[in-house]
């Protein structure tokens, strides 16, 4: 595989130098280095067939076009911190909206799309286990149902 990669390095609002994880990793490799690749992709991140579906995912452009129908919540671990001053992760952001998220997940027309590092799944499951348990539901069984209905779409690498 041959790649052309631009190294991402910038200074954030706090004056800290931020380096792109992927671009810096790739740019620091030596020619001929072994690299694990995944793909092809596209199995998980398919849009629902229902045009009235509630979709939970990152969607900046659609929010700009129809702000009343979209809310974008970020969890940028390299730039944001939580209330304890720790890195912000998706499970931390999900916990902030847990009751609302759980109510949406119980609807047949809600679809969730998330992608990121494989380790994020455990943190998400930890949040969802407690939410589901409040309603007497086993999260892992419910997640299987959501996946089968194409409502829970998580792609990790």
Which domains, from first to last, does the chain contain? 1-35 (no CATH), 54-156 (3.40.50.80)
Are residues 8 and 14 in contact, defined by beta-carbon separation less than 8 angstroms? no
pLDDT in tens, 28-40: 999 888 888 766 5
Q: What is the C-alpha separation between 100 and 85, in angstroms, rounded?
A: 24
Q: At which residue do the structure tokens 């390299």 appear?
A: 78
pLDDT in tens, 9-25: 999 888 999 998 889 99
CA angle, residues 97, 71, 62, in degrees to nearest 5: 155
Q: Dig out the tokens for 129 from the structure.
A: 């286990």
Model pTM score = 0.59
SS3 of 116, please?
strand
pLDDT in tens, 94-130: 888 888 989 999 999 888 888 777 788 888 899 899 9
Are residues 110 and 56 in contact, defined by beta-carbon separation less than 8 angstroms? yes
């Amino acid at each position: 595989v041959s790649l052309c990669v631009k190294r991402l390095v910038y200074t954030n609002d706090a004056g800290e130098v931020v380096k792109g994880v992927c671009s810096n990793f790739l740019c620091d490799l030596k020619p001929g280095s072994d690299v694990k690749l995944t793909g092809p992709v596209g199995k998980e991140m398919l849009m629902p067939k229902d045009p009235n579906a509630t979709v939970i995912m990152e969607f900046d452009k659609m929010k700009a076009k129809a702000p009343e129908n979209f809310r974008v919540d970020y969890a940028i671990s390299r730039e944001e911190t939580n209330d304890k001053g720790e890195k912000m992760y998706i499970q931390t952001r999900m916990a902030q909206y847990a009751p609302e998220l759980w109510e949406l997940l119980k609807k047949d027309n809600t679809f969730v799309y998330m992608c990121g590092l494989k380790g994020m799944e455990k943190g998400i499951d930890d949040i969802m286990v407690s939410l589901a348990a409040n309603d007497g539901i086993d999260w892992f069984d419910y997640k299987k149902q959501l996946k089968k209905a194409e409502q829970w779409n998580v792609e990790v690498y």
